[in-house]
A and B are shown apart, each in its own frame.
Chain A
Amino acid sequence: MYKWFAAKRVAKGIFMYALLIFIMSALFNNVNEQTMRAQINEQVRMESQKLKGMQPTAIQRWQLDRKVQLEHTYKLDRPLGERIVFSAIDTLTFNFGKSTIIKSSQGERQVLTIIGEAIPRSIILFSVAAVVEICIGVWLGLKKAQRPGGTLDRSSSFVTMILYGMPTWWLAMILIMFFVYTVKAFPSGGVHSVPPPAGIMYFLDMLWHMILPLMTLVLIGFWGISFVVRNIVLGILQEDYIMAARARGVPENKVLFGHTMRTAAPPLITMSLLSLLASISGSIIFEGIFSWPGLGNLYWIAVQQNDVPVLMGDLAITIGIYQAGLVLLDLTYGFLDPRIKVGGKA
């Protein structure tokens, strides 16, 4: 039963992703083709410089021929509808083409390589931050739910509201100004020192670079989580079986972690994954402040250099990760909450 549910959900996710990419191709078709044509012109010019001993007219004719040939290879001579379909298929098969300016650390121009380098760095930063946030958030949320309306509950809810609209990247700026330029405790950005040290120092160095961005994300992140955890747990604590468990004399910690947390697990995991997804969607450009060379920083650079292929590839990958996250969310939810798997009608 679960297999069927999982297969259906994955298929639906892939279909959604394909549809979104298709819409994206249609929406940005114009600008994509402009860049492609500019790249073709550039290529033809470069190639014709290598030709020697030809008449100027012959070179011109060769250039025109070559341009038509290249446009045919890139399918730019087809009707509009076909072009959109082909570019969508290209994007779906991770064939993002070449960047106009940005290069990977090896000096390559392939957009996929550039993005491939960025993904792990983003994932490390955001997932470590999410884990820390969730640990602190769940702990604080439980404490809050045990005494609703108490001092801790009220004061931490107050802080949650104060931080609600604070941009992560702004806090990042302030922390950098203080910790990097005033106290001089942390490096201003990047993943590694230049040159990166070898052996165990490599990881320590990375950790040292990571502390400040991590701290920023966690400082803002866990309040919201603790607030949601409090509401979920508070709802469950009012259920009859909790009262029954307490009446039976089950120790309070066991009531909290055995009875309450098991029921709260599905919504809690949903919420944790959602907060991870929200940070992909929301605080991604915060990487730019720390020059942490992940996906968010890539947006920043691509916007500044006006590198359209990288921008498009980055967007496609981000949407892909987001969709994958949503699928994963439903799968875990279905796994933890048996009622979902049956797929009853709403």
Chain B
Amino acid sequence: MSAKDFGFWLRDFWNDFKRERSGLVGLAILVLSVLVVAFEPLLLPWGEVNTKWRSIDYWQDNSASAPPAWTNAFRGEKLAVTTRLQPGKPEELELDGGVKTVRYDFSYKFSADKPPLDIIVHGLATGDVPVSVTMERPDGQVLELAQRFEQGLQDSDLRISLDNEGRESAFGFVKQFESEEALASITPDAIRSTDIIFNEGRAGMATEFKALKGEYKLSVTAMLLDPAQFKYEKPYVAVSGAVSGVLGTDNMKRDIFSGLVAGLKWALLIGLLTSIVSVLIGVFYGIISAYYGGVVDTVMQFVFQLFNGIPVLPVLIVVSAIFKPSIWFIISVMVIFFWVGPVMTVRSMALQIKEETYIEAAKALGANNRRIIFKHMAPILLPYSFASMALSVPSAIVYESSVSLLGLGDATIVTWGQILHDAMQGSAILNGVWWWIIPPGLCIAILGMTFAFLGFAMDKILQPKLRTR
């Protein structure tokens, strides 16, 4: 089949395909997911998820097991959402003796009914840098929340958790309003600073939370004792709320939406690579077996039956458990077992084609075996295999996730199965952490559905017997 013929065939195919509504839906989802993979860096809320999925430091500012932010819509009392604040313009101030201070101002508009769990100030510091954090509340009260002085820093991240370091000053703030008896029941260690900071100042505030909504002004001041050498830059403030992101966080504080987006490319790769390679092998295996016949056929059929008699998933599990594989190894093992799929159908079709007159004519003209197989038989049989290619994608994806679910996946990447494995380990089912369990499985199911739509549509077009119209 020449390129021109293929073009004609493709146009015919497309004309038929256009009428399959489910096929078009499948195609649309496939295109969409390819676009998501292509524009992944723009979509990821946490850019370094691919390399830092298992790093504890990277996720430490999030809150653990936080539901998705949009669940607030169904909640009477709104919870604070995890956000990041960027500073306004830094204000530098020269002091006597060559000392300089840099002040960064942040503004946090608090409108929830519950306080955030923590507010964390980050900055890159070099040298000996004293940093102080103050906060001005909407009611005009100013709290000196934290002071930190660390020495000998080398461009390292200075992390100040206001929940931890602001306890003393929060306790001091409570003292202004509460009576002696009320204070006797609490200690500075037992209070949560954010409960106080975002509370309305009044008697009884130590025990009951009433949100003081409005704009909170946070200023971070760093004193540069030697402005020539010492530095404090790129500060940001992480507000870790009780709800977070598009799909919440898991118990390791990881953003689940980022994990899902990062897992998509692996799911596509696993599915497509496994199915394309294995179906191609299977088609040529079937053609060769049918074309040569005789002893070759007998031997090839025996090998086929041998592979056909192996349950794939158990073998895949045992092999993964023993060889601790990479993703490429898992894909190769799946190819080794998946190629048997199309062999029987292709062989029986090839047996018919083999007897056609044009094959005989080609032989009479002196065409060699390779030419007949690749030029005359494969082009007719390959289109039929497209449907089985699409239909074997979901099982490849499901098998990989099953192996990952057992904790045997490739530990250097993020896949949906691994997210579900972590969910099982973190007893997400028991705790009802649905945002950790439903989305990854739904992604697997939707991607499987996509390829099922495509596969069944192609099947219908390529095998007219099954047509309903």
Residue numbers of A with Cβ under 8 A of B are 16-17, 19-20, 28, 31, 148-149, 153, 157-158, 160-167, 169-171, 173-174, 176-177, 181-182, 188, 231, 234-235, 277, 280-282, 284-285, 288-289, 299-300, 302-304, 306, 308, 311-312, 314-315, 318-319, 322-323, 326, 346
Contact = CB atoms under 8 A, between A and B. Distances in A.
B437 A281 contact: no
B406 A164 contact: no
Interface in B378-434: 391, 393-395, 397-399, 401-402, 405-408, 420, 423-424, 429-430, 432, 434
Contacts of A289: 424
B318 A167 contact: no
A166 B314 contact: no
Contacts of A166: 441, 444-445, 448-449
B452 A164 contact: yes
Question: Which of A164, A234, A235 neighbours the largest number of chain B CB atoms within 10 Å of its CB?
Answer: A164
Interface stretch (B153-161, B276-284, B305-313): B305-313
Nearest to A282: B313
A20 B438 CA distance: 38
B129 to A, nearest CB: 47
Contacts of B469: 149
B104 interface: no
Contacts of A17: 309
A209 B290 CA distance: 50
Contacts of A308: 322
B311 A165 contact: no
A181 B391 CA distance: 35
A19 B322 contact: no
Question: Which of A165, A173, A322, A323 neighbours the largest number of chain B CB atoms within 10 Å of its CB?
Answer: A165
A235 B465 contact: yes
Contact of B322 (A31, A163, A169, A281): A31
A22 to B, nearest CB: 11
B452 A165 contact: yes
B120 interface: no
B468 interface: yes
A138 to B, nearest CB: 19
Interface residues of B, number: 53
Secondary structure of the A contact surface, majority rule = helix
B142 interface: no
Contacts of B322: 28, 31, 308, 311
A170 B420 contact: yes
A5 B408 CA distance: 43
Contacts of B401: 167
Contacts of B314: 281, 284, 299, 314-315, 318-319
B405 A315 contact: no
B72 interface: no
Nearest to B302: A16
A281 B317 contact: no
Given A280-B311, A282-B395, A315-B315, 10 more contacts: A16-B305, A148-B468, A161-B22, A165-B393, A167-B441, A169-B405, A173-B420, A277-B311, A281-B312, A315-B318
A285 B306 contact: no
B391 to A, nearest CB: 8
Nearest to A12: B305
Nearest to A318: B314
A288 B403 CA distance: 12
A161 B449 contact: yes
Closest 6 CB pairs of A and B: A165-B448, A165-B394, A170-B441, A164-B452, A149-B468, A281-B311
Contacts of B310: 20, 319, 322
A164 B312 contact: no
A19 B394 contact: no
